[in-house]
Structure 1
Amino acid sequence: MGAFERWLSLWVGLAIVAGVALGSVMPDVFAQVAGWEWAGVNIPVAVLIWLMIYPMMAQVDFASIKQVGANPRGLALTLLINWAIKPFTMAALGVLFFKYIFVPWVDPATAEEYIAGMILLGVAPCTAMVFIWSQLTRGNANYTLVQVSVNDLIMVVAFAPIAGLLLGVTDIEVPWQTLLASVVLYVLLPLLAGIITRYGMFKQNAAGLEQFLLRVKPLSILGLIATVVLLFGFQAPRILAQPMAIVMIAIPLLIQTYGIFALAYWWAKRWRLSHDIAAPACMIATSNFFELAVAVAISLFGLHSGAALATVVGVLVEVPVMLSLVAIANRTRHWF
């Protein structure tokens, strides 16, 4: 890892501070940028999220899926947690906290939006940062590729139905057309672009692909930093007016993250998975594809909505919490 990646938590933190500061000093500028929309999609945010996602999708080697037979339990663990458990526990925690525990402090309409943002985070399994978590836990790189590849393929067809189901269950009106368009824009098209890059442009030139990915990798991180600045700039007035909202959203997100990791880690130990498969499997099961969640929340509910704020808090929580889980995984290697 280079110095920039190593200090990613610091850059994200500075981007958050910069976004809030700029958004409070220049609200008219951010309001104008927020108005640059087409079909309910904010163009600057869409471009930046594409910058983040595309290099990561180009890294995914779908030929590695044939290796799944070597150890199917690791993949099974990831898929069960990501698609049969995590979305539903996230929805349950959202309802518990914002319809019962935090009722005195949050109005019902805002509570619904917070729940929606949490659901979108829960339905989006991590694609990008998983490669970093796997590397930091000395995970099996090829098997991590298998898990990410299969999850990406499932996400294309499962994200919208599960999100729609849970949003409907929590009495939130589901704009299906926008939801499906978001999946196409932020999952399917970047995935296709990554496949074309890997198997079209560099099919016979692995070294060329590696060089290309190294060149575009900074765009991904710069896209992340710029997106964080924009998102917190858009939300600056709300954050400054309601700092407790950040704390209230963060509490169930923290419970969800540590709870899901504990369940997945225990499960991996029971199944006697090797640590180099168990650790990245649990990281994939725990972390969120917050880029997708943020984009869909903005498309469905608007830049200044409670749903967008909840997904932005997901960005705030994700990196430091996942680094703490990396530390736990590394210190418990002897369990496996």
Structure 2
Amino acid sequence: MSTFERYLTLWVAVCIVVGVAAGHAAPGLFQAIGSVEVAKVNLPVAALIWLMIVPMLLKIDFTALAQVGRHWRGIGVTLFVNWAVKPFSMAALAWLFVGHLFRPYLPADQIDSYVAGLIILAAAPCTAMVFVWSNLTRGEPAFTLSQVALNDAIMIVAFAPIVGLMLGLSSISVPWATLAISVALYIVVPVIAAQAIRSALFASGGQAALDKLLGTLQPVSLVALLATLVLLFGFQGEQIIAQPTVIAMLAVPILIQVYANAGLAYLLNRLTGEEHCVAGPSALIGASNFFELAVAAAISLFGFRSGAALATVVGVLIEVPVMLSVVWIVNRSRGWYERGGAGAVARRDRHA
């Protein structure tokens, strides 16, 4: 993890301050930016989000799908947590905390939007930062790559139906046309573009050419993320100043969801007999979110000024410190993990 990535939470906090201040100082500028859109897609933000997403998707090698059977227990656990547990658990937590417990303290006209943002945040598993978390837990690289590639393939067809289902169950109107455009614009097209660029790079210069391009684009990707956050908070500034505890309240269901899903994936891997080098990244993939996609989808579906956009940004704010704490737990508990029946099964399978 680079120094810049390690302090991502700090940079996000700076963007909050800069965005709120700029929004008050130059409201006309932000209104002008917000008006540049086609089919409800804001073009400046679309460009920034492409700069965020495409470099991350360049790291994904879909040929790794051929390896999914090597660690079938870990793959099965992670798929179960990512697609059968996480969206539903987040919807339940959002309904409990935002819809009920915190309702008296939140802007009444944004309640449904906050819930929608939290659902969108949980609907897609993380793509890029997972490689960092996996490396920090000494995770199995082949498992991490194949799991991420499989999740991305599933996301192409499952993201819109899951978001639509969860929003519908929460009695939130689903703008299906805009949702379909978001999936095409922020998942399908970037995946195709990234794979085309990847193939061209390997044909001309191999892995070295890809690494060189990623070295150039990674800082651009992070700067694009931070620029998007400045714009978001420029539009959200008045609401945040009026309700400074909103971010803290939105963070509560996200924190519970991350730790609960990470713990569930970790324990299920132990019970099924998977090795620790697979259980670690499995827990981290099960817990983390593709927040770049979530921010893009929330803006497209509900707009810059929506509570949904703000809720997804809270996910960005707490991503690094929370995931580093999960890494610490996974590493510190390795001895406990390997003393269990799982360690014995894994060792037996390895030597079979």
Question: Does the TM-score normalized on the shorter chain lie above 0.5?
Answer: yes
Q: CA deviation at 1:82?
A: 0.7
**Structure 1 residue aligned with 2:122:** 122
**Structure 2 residue aligned with 1:135:** 135
**Structure 2 residue aligned with 1:306:** 307
Query: Quick check: 284-293 or 102-111, which moved more?
Result: 102-111
Which aligned pairs between 1:147-186 and structure 2 lie closer than 5 A? 147-186=147-186
Q: CA deviation at 1:162?
A: 0.8
Q: CA deviation at 1:42?
A: 1.4
Which aligned pairs between 1:45-84 and structure 2 lie closer than 5 A? 45-84=45-84
**Do the aligned partners of 1:99 and 1:108 also contact (CA within 8 Å) in 2?**
no
Q: CA deviation at 1:270?
A: 1.3
Residues 211 and 107 (structure 1), Cα distance of their counterparts in 2 relative to 1, 3 Å cut? closer
**Do the aligned partners of 2:134 and 2:141 also contact (CA within 8 Å) in 1?**
yes
Write the distance in 1 (CA, Å) between the matches of 2:21 and 2:186: 28
Write the distance in 2 (CA, Å) between the matches of 1:247 and 1:5: 22
Q: What TM-score do the two structures reach when normalised by structure 1?
A: 0.95
Q: CA deviation at 1:103?
A: 3.0
Write the distance in 2 (CA, Å) between the matches of 1:105 and 1:210: 48
Q: Does 1:188 align with 2:209?
A: no
Write the distance in 2 (CA, Å) between the matches of 1:146 and 1:203: 22
Aligned length: 336
Q: Residue 5 of structure 1: SS of its match in structure 2?
A: helix
Matched to 2:251, the amino acid is A
Q: Does 1:112 align with 2:120?
A: no
Q: CA deviation at 1:183?
A: 0.6
Q: CA deviation at 1:289?
A: 0.8
Matched to 2:145, the amino acid is L
Residues 103 and 7 (structure 1), Cα distance of their counterparts in 2 relative to 1, 3 Å cut? closer
Q: Residue 173 of structure 1: SS of its match in structure 2?
A: coil
**Structure 1 residue aligned with 2:222:** 221
Matched to 1:225, the amino acid is L
Structure 1 stretches lacking a partner, 5+ long: none
Residues 108 and 12 (structure 1), Cα distance of their counterparts in 2 relative to 1, 3 Å cut? closer
Write the distance in 2 (CA, Å) between the matches of 1:289 and 1:164: 17
Flag as ranges the 4+ runs of structure 1 deviating above 6 A.
none
Query: Quick check: 248-257 or 156-165, which moved more?
Result: 248-257
**Do the aligned partners of 1:114 and 1:310 also contact (CA within 8 Å) in 2?**
yes
Write the distance in 2 (CA, Å) between the matches of 1:39 and 1:264: 39
**Structure 2 residue aligned with 1:21:** 21
Write the distance in 1 (CA, Å) between the matches of 2:316 and 2:202: 33
Q: Deviations over 1:268-298 (max 9, x none)?
A: 2212222221111111110111111111111
**Structure 2 residue aligned with 1:291:** 292
Q: CA deviation at 1:12?
A: 2.5
Write the distance in 2 (CA, Å) between the matches of 1:190 and 1:142: 23
Query: Quick check: 96-105 or 81-90, which moved more?
Result: 96-105
**Do the aligned partners of 1:232 and 1:312 also contact (CA within 8 Å) in 2?**
no
Identity %: 53
Residues 245 and 3 (structure 1), Cα distance of their counterparts in 2 relative to 1, 3 Å cut? closer
Q: What TM-score do the two structures reach when normalised by structure 2?
A: 0.91
**Do the aligned partners of 1:239 and 1:245 also contact (CA within 8 Å) in 2?**
yes
Q: Residue 234 of structure 2: SS of its match in structure 1?
A: helix
